[in-house]
Structure 1
Amino acid sequence: MEVLKVTEQKELAVKLKELFPQGRITCTEAHDLAREWDMDPRELGEACDEAGIKISACELGCF
């Protein structure tokens, strides 16, 4: 899978802020969204970091 370019990451961060204005997304929601958008969950996680969105209810118990 191709790594997102910086501009694409910034655009994705803006979209995430629109979708999750409360600044939180669950791990399950993040995985579902990554699958829906056909992208690597790690890339989505990086975009969430860029957008200041916290991932909660980690499936691995990390957060």
Structure 2
Amino acid sequence: MQKRDQIVEKLKELSDDSKITCTDARKLAEDLQVEPIEVGKLCDEMKIKIIGCELGCF
């Protein structure tokens, strides 16, 4: 499975009502060893809003 597919699957699992916390998004990036911006781009594509932003990563 490609990284993109892994990220998409995890985002589907983690997002609640099309939202995911910044902490969860950063942890996902760390766990899958990708840059946070990659997770952010997929969130945009999937219309998932990142909430509780902490560092302006996304």
The answer, yes or no, to whether TM exceeds 0.5 is yes
Smaller-chain TM-score bracket: 0.7 to 0.9
Say yes or no: does 1:57 pair with 2:52.
yes
Counting matched residue pairs gives 52
Larger radius of gyration: 1
Give the unaligned 5+ runs of structure 1: 1-7
Give, in angstroms, the shift of residue 22 of structure 1.
1.5
Structural RMSD (CA): 2.1
Could you tell me which amino acid in structure 2 is paired with residue 50 of structure 1? Answer: E
Helix, strand or coil for the counterpart of 2:53? coil
Q: Could you state the TM-score of these two structures normalised by the residue count of structure 1?
A: 0.68
Identity %: 41
Aligned to 1:27: 22
Q: Could you state the TM-score of these two structures normalised by the residue count of structure 2?
A: 0.73
Give the unaligned 5+ runs of structure 2: none
